[in-house]
Amino acid sequence: AREAWASAGESWRDAIAPALTALADARPTAINLHWAIERMRATFHAIDGNPEPDLLAEALAIHHEDVAANQAMARAGAARLGTECAVLTHCNTGALATGGVGTALGVIRAAHAERRLRAVFACEARPWLQGARLTAWELEKEGIPFRLIADSAAALTIERERVDWVIVGADRIACNGDVANKIGTWNLALIARALGARMMVVAPTSTFDPDCPDGDSIPIEQRPEEELLELGGQRIAAPGTRASNPVFDVTRARYIDCIVTERGVFDNPAERPPGEILKSLDQAG
């Protein structure tokens, strides 16, 4: 916005449009970014002159709301865990991914502070390794004892370590409670159901998409093949190998035990008809 004002003056709204499109196109699956862009865009009509002060104020408001929402979700989710609980999480959902303490990782932080946890496991989260690079870094910095596992070790870990809860975030939640999240989440939900663990999704209400009826309507971002075929810039796959690299998958609502938001915890989302979760959120507000 600063650059658009400097280059185009009162025509800054037109000048900034390509940047907004580029931002939205960067993450087709994650709805929070689209929500934030539209919230910022909604302030455009009332701005007179240099847009920077008003847009900065709105951005700071979003940040402060996210910090408060993270804290509310952390408390509500931790209260569901009981005591002497073993949990497993996937990808990165902490302070590095949010404005506050995090979503799923925020719950784990709160549960640790309340001495509810006996074990924490973090999946490596291939192919970007967010679990190994980011979640592990955050847990270590927080002094939370944990073990990193290969994604393919989840079933063995959940069974042998008697994991009680799989706790994940979300990039988009459909009206019927279907959830898009980091690739591998769907695997974890199936394993958890088979082995008696429970599945908790932790996400702010901005993750709900009122225009998306179910998981089949959620676009799945595809990333370059090289992310699977190479490691650290070195080829690891056999010559001639092709790869499919979806970044997200969809976990059906019937495999989710609860969705934790800053406005309440919603149990058994599959038992509600499409759209009812959103309506209940609005009524609660």
Active site residues: 171
CB-based contact 181:251 (threshold 8 Å) = yes
Q: Which two tokens stand for residue 147?
A: 């073990």
CB-based contact 167:123 (threshold 8 Å) = no
- Rounded to an integer, what distance in angstroms lies between the CA atom of residue 196 and that of residue 86? 13
3-state SS string for the chain: CHHHHHHHHHHHHHHHHHHHHHHHHHCCCCHHHHHHHHHHHCCHHHCCCCCHHHHHHHHHHHHHHHHHHHHHHHHHHHHCCCCCEEEEECCCCCCCCCCCCCCHHHHHHHHHHCCCEEEEEEECCCCCCHHHHHHHHHHHHHCCCCEEECHHHHHHHHHHCCCCEEEECCCEECCCCCEEEECCHHHHHHHHHHHCCEEEEECCHHHECCCCCCHHHCCCCECCCHHHHEECCEECCCCCCCCCCECEEEECHHHCCEEEECCEEEECHHHCCCCHHHHHHHHHC
Is residue 194 exposed (0-12), middle (13-18) or buried (19+ Cβ within 10 Å)? exposed
- Rounded to an integer, what distance in angstroms lies between the CA atom of residue 141 and that of residue 252? 34
